[in-house]
Chains A and B, each alone.
Chain A
Amino acid sequence: MSWLFEPGWWANGTVRTALLVGFVVAVVSAIVGVFTVLRGQSFAGHALTDVATAGGAGAFLVGLAPLAGFIGGGVAGAGAMDAIGVQRVKGRDIATGVVLGAAMGLAALFLFLAARDSSATGTTQLILFGSIFTVGPSTLAQVSWLSAGVLVALAAIARPLLLSSLSVELAVARGVRVRWVGLVFMILLAVAVGMSAIVIGAILSTALLIGPPASALRVARRFAVGVVLAVVLGVVATWLGVLFAYDSYYWFPSHRGLPVSFFVVAVVLVEYVIASVVHRAAPSPSVAAGWS
């Protein structure tokens, strides 16, 4: 196995933290992502990355941890999107585009100010594309607590959420407060986007959120199987991303490694392609088919 795990892999503290943070984030992203894909809200996820980017850059500027900014920005964005009712792409796409453009503009301003007025280096890379290898052990604890909170909340609303995701009319008839369930889910989605941004950056965070669940739902025939498969695919993508980034140090004589985020997103894409091929070879009435 030495060809796969380059020297020092098992003893490296940076790698260990990255793997643990990546694992926790991948699990939460995959589970939240399954609901996101089922509800056809991947657009909302993309929209949240834009506000999360602005939040992360703003947090950096005022000296807060990027994670706080990612999540704060995302939750504020979720509230705003719920207020103006643009959770789905149809209809108000122009207004949404303008607002999201403004959010990215704000992110550009904050990143400019951070570069101009602070001694911090590499901020743009960290905010936009992630720096999992610079994450400290304290972030691991924060991410773990947040993840536990998200999973508990998601479990609490899982049944009404699933019902309202599959049929709003049925959910209303059963007495589900669809609006509230939707808002709670949007907030959980925002937190998941923020945590995913720690691993692969705010701009790429939906790749981890949408990719593995989308692949899983192409091949899985049952909801539970889809969730488990999404988690496995998400963790595999994250861990392989960390491994390849570590190994890339030895690929070039210059010993200059490549970034984790690129490898994570590349593995996510490969998984999706494989899932599509499998799906085409053995067409099945997958969970997603009726709802996407």
Chain B
Amino acid sequence: MIHRMIPKKTRWERPRLARGVARRGGLVVTTLTLTALVLSGCNAGSSPSGALAVVGAENQYANVAAQVGGRYVHATAIMSNPNVDPHTFEVSTSVAQAVAQARIVIQNGLGYDQFMNQLEAASPSSSRVVISAQRLLGLSSATRNPHLWYRPSTMLRVADAVERALARAEPSHRAYFARRLTRFEQAVGAVSASVASLRARFAGRVVASTEPVADYLLAAVGVVNATPWRFQADVMNGVDPSPEDVAHLRTLIQGHRVAALLYNAQVTSSVTVALRELAVSSGVPVVAVYETMPAPGYDYQSWMLAELAALARALGTHRSTEAL
């Protein structure tokens, strides 16, 4: 189930232009004119067009690689369906083949994409570079919240590591990769600016969430998540949260002790659906958050800007964003 990161030029351009963020990153995408990759028929590490094969365990990581690597990279993502819970993802043979043939693999770590380690072990390769966000950030495996990409600085570190790996693999295009890295860093700068502006307006506000998906972003904005960690972890791990914690969360929402409910639109259960309905009926705005990039239509930075805009809408004007 490999999603092609760059399906068609037009599919990427139209919604992005409509959102008015094209000037920040649209140029990056338009240069990616890679054709479909036939995995079974290509040599290890390169696609038919000669581009370097990069695999991102989640599509946001593949997207960063595509933005930095440009036309010399063919980036594929393993998890990209916004309607699927990545925590319960199961591996297919085509995924194993993609990892076996990749020159650069980007994964999150912290057990979020554990299957990647097994796939890499199953096809050892000395020429493959594995980039793990967890390792880049030096996080211990006891770190509770695996959704590292919701901290913009994480993606800057990842992009930097991708650029170094690309420059080593194809030294002749070193300057090209460096240019594109700079452009990506500028684009993420817009996200950081938005974070700073939200922090100035909303720091100290209190929200609830069904899962810890956007907790790093909330922390960056200075917004407090009042949801007990147990509840968030139970939903994340697919077990029923205890009635005590559910009752606590309902009290937070009904009593308007939280200004918004961050709702993981990608991982739902009857408990989270009931909480969303309670929030809507209680007049607490809902903000849809996603585990993987809701593509097509977004790149990493426009996705984060959209989440920040949704949060600002909820906290500033009490309006819900039930889907991106």
Contact = CB atoms under 8 A, between A and B. Distances in A.
Contacts of B274: 136
B242 interface: yes
A13 B271 CA distance: 13
Given A125-B238, A125-B239, A134-B269, A119 B84 contact: yes
A116 interface: yes
Given A13-B247, A120-B268, A122-B239, 8 more contacts: A11-B247, A117-B81, A122-B238, A122-B240, A134-B271, A135-B270, A136-B270, A249-B242
A113 to B, nearest CB: 10
A15 interface: yes
B85 interface: yes
A121 B242 contact: no
A34 B235 CA distance: 38
B265 interface: yes
Interface residues of B, number: 30
A117 B89 CA distance: 9
Nearest to B88: A115
Nearest to A113: B90
B244 to A, nearest CB: 5
Interface string A133-148: 1111000000000000
Q: Which 6 A-B pairs have the closest CB atoms?
A: A257-B242, A14-B243, A122-B238, A115-B88, A121-B238, A134-B270
B87 interface: yes
A8 B238 contact: no
Contacts of A257: 242-244
Nearest to A256: B230
B266 interface: yes
A8 B268 contact: no
Interface of B: 1, 81, 83-85, 87-90, 230, 234-235, 238-240, 242-247, 250, 265-271, 274
5 contacts: A119-B84, A120-B268, A122-B239, A125-B238, A257-B242
A119 B271 CA distance: 13
Contacts, number: 89
Nearest to A242: B243
User: Chain A contact residues (Cβ within 8 angstroms of B): what range?
Assistant: 20 to 34
B247 A259 contact: no
Given A134-B269, A256-B230, A118 B83 contact: yes
Given A12-B247, A14-B247, A117-B83, A133 B242 contact: yes
Interface in A1-25: 8, 11-15, 18
A223 interface: no
A120 B85 contact: yes
Given A112-B90, A115-B85, A121 B267 contact: yes
Contacts of B235: 121
A246 interface: yes
Given A115-B90, A121-B235, A246 B243 contact: yes
Contact of A116 (B89, B246, B271): B89
A249 B235 CA distance: 16
Given A119-B83, A134-B270, A255 B240 contact: no
A77 B33 CA distance: 54
A116 B88 CA distance: 7
Contacts of B245: 255
B247 A8 contact: yes
Contacts of A117: 81, 83-84
A206 interface: no
